[in-house]
Structure 1
Amino acid sequence: MTDAPTVLVCWTTVSQQEQARTIAQALLERRVAACVQIDGPIESHYCWDGRVCCETEYRLVIKTSAGQQTRLKDVLRELHPYEVPQIVTVRSVDVDRDYARWVDEQTG
């Protein structure tokens, strides 16, 4: 897809559905995301402060353009309730050209 803009997919998690909705709304209003999907509840297992934890969380799947990557991370850090939020971003390898253009327009 050489003529399509690069689409990034970012994941983060929060402990409450309302937190997920608030972050999703802010990302869209600030135009750092074209689309945010909320999955959950999910069960997350992780180590924190030397102990194994298991918590219910909600996952946000965020689609944005490559040009918004830094701003997206900054906004997530600003809004996120966690001390150390999960912010994982990957570049898409194959995206429908029209969808990629739409993502780019929404975040441009």
Structure 2
Amino acid sequence: MQTEFLLVITTCPSAEHAKSLARELVKSKLAACVQISQAITSVYQWQGELCEEQEFSLQIKCLAQHYNAIEHTLSKLHPYDVPELIAVPITQGLPAYFDWIKETTQP
């Protein structure tokens, strides 16, 4: 496969924040699709404290070439000081789905 595809994962503190980020990424053609989960519980350490918070997970399907722009957009718009931002290469999948990602993320 010549084009690299990524699944980028982040979380937001509210459904409203998640929807706002998702809309911006799709509208700007950085992502073909962003799926937003129902509320999940995250348990983590932050500044020496044990935290347990409700969050919404976003799964962002995109071209690898758009990762830097996605990172920049999330850094500007995300409400967290240090947002989760993990990119996982997609190595297998339906060719027609990959074609759709390419088509919907072209300027």
Output the TM-score relative to the length of structure 1. 0.93
Percent identity reads: 35
Partner of 1:81: 79
Letter of the aligned partner of 1:88 in structure 2? I
Query: Post-superposition, which runs of at least 4 consecutive aligned residues in structure 1 deviate over 3 A?
Result: none
Q: What is the deviation of 1:6?
A: 2.0
Determine the C-alpha separation between the residues in 1 that align with 2:65 and 2:96: 18
Determine the C-alpha separation between the residues in 2 that align with 1:104 and 1:70: 17
Determine the C-alpha separation between the residues in 2 that align with 1:67 and 1:29: 17
Secondary structure at 1:62 match in 2: strand
Determine the C-alpha separation between the residues in 1 that align with 2:32 and 2:38: 20
Structure 1: tracts of 5 or more residues without a match: none
Partner of 1:33: 31
Output the TM-score relative to the length of structure 2. 0.94
Retained in 2: the 8 A contact 1:64–1:107? yes
Count the aligned residue pairs. 106
Quote the RMSD (CA, aligned, Å). Answer: 1.0
Retained in 2: the 8 A contact 1:45–1:55? yes
Secondary structure at 2:52 match in 1: strand
